[in-house]
Amino acid sequence: MPRALIVGSGREIPPNRVTNAMLARVMDTSDEWIRERSGIETRYYVDPGTGTSDLGVAAARRALEMAKVDKDEIDLVIFATMTPDHYFPGSGGLLQAKLGIKKAPCFDIRQQCVGWVFGMQLADAQIRSGFAKTVLLVGAEIHAGFMPYNQANWDYLYGKSDVKPTPEEFAKNTGYRDRIVLFGDAGGAVVLKATDDDRRGVVDSILRTDGTEYDKLIVPGVGFKHRPYVDAAQLERGDHIPIVEGRAVFKMATTLMAEVTHEILKKNGVQLSDLKLVLMHQANLRINGYVQKTLGLPDEKVYNNIQKYGNTTAATIPLLWDECARAGRIQPGDLVLMVAIGGGVHWGATLLRA
């Protein structure tokens, strides 16, 4: 039976680098406060008018180039994002059109921060079934739209204006600081091809969902539980901005990511010492450090880049993979584990040989 093998990867980072000190211009925060709680030093935001599909397209082009695969070979597109260009249609078809890919089917999936791991399992399943031979998997996010700043706040943050936020605006922004300092924009992509080499490719995936915990990570507004699904009152209340129950999320993340790691390794007769790298979702450096300590992983088996990019949701793991692959930290035959948790609550792990 064939399995999915990553043959190329790419990433796209937006042009606007935002430091913690810059965020302190528009809310009550500091570099020390943000680093202590998250490990984040910088993040990147897109220019207005850039869509999530645009980040995906740029990352996909680099992945196709690295893979030496022509776009006409793609027979399935999977796009993981919680921040699509439009409420509908999904971003997969937009990416397909912008890349000029033939009329291959496009799946749009919504598992938030664990969307990449769910996408890996889906790509592998479609290849194993014979439905596809070459899959383009994309994870991309634009979180800048969550930010509560008005245009004057944006201009002051970027140093384009001397007009400071009013006391009311400063207080409003500060009310969301525990969340908005965490997020950045980015896109990542890989090309997966069918291989009959049982020494390489996706070995196994384990996926889990517990819908009873959905309210721990949630955007409470702009949904069809409301009538209309969006209105000025929701925006004024900030119902379009995610709610993150920090303590509950920390406990779930550290527990479930460690558990699913042990589960997938035991299932496949693999030891932690056999792994070359563990690529964890980049939500919080403190979470990843706790999981690393729980598992007893040495530093050389773990790679983090949340310091540079912040939490880019479905894009975090492909960013890690692409940086490691291009730096030579992932070589053919290396055993790599991808593990993540996200709103839903969904979590899972994928074990693969490069």
Joined together, the tokens standing for residue 20 give 């913690």
Find how far residue 191's CA is from the centre of its chain.
17
The one catalytic residue among 106, 173, 281, 324: 281
Annotation says 106 is catalytic:
no
> How does 182-204 read in b/e, with b if 16+ C-beta sit within 10 Å?
bbbbbbbbbbbbbbeeeebbbbb
How far apart, in Å, are the Cα atoms of 112 and each of 19, 46, 84, 140, 180? 24, 19, 11, 10, 16
DSSP states along 293-340: HHHT--GGGB---HHHH-B-GGGHHHHHHHHHHHTT-S-TT-EEEEEE
Based on the number of CB atoms within 10 Å of its own CB, is 208 exposed (0-12), middle (13-18) or buried (19 or more)? middle
Whether the upstream peptide bond of residue 48 has omega within 30° of 0, thus cis, is no
Placement of tokens 């310091």 in the chain? 307
The residue annotated as part of the active site, out of 153, 311, 324, 346, is: 311
* Main-chain phi, psi angles of 269, to 5 degrees: 65, 35
113: annotated active-site residue: yes
Helices 285-295 & 246-267, crossing angle to 10 degrees? 40
Peptide bond into 345 cis (omega under 30): yes
- Does residue 262 carry a catalytic annotation? no
Q: Which residue in the list 113, 143, 173, 324 is annotated as catalytic?
A: 113
Side-chain-side CA neighbours of 305 within 13 Å: the count stands at: 20
Q: Which residues are catalytic?
A: 113, 281, 311
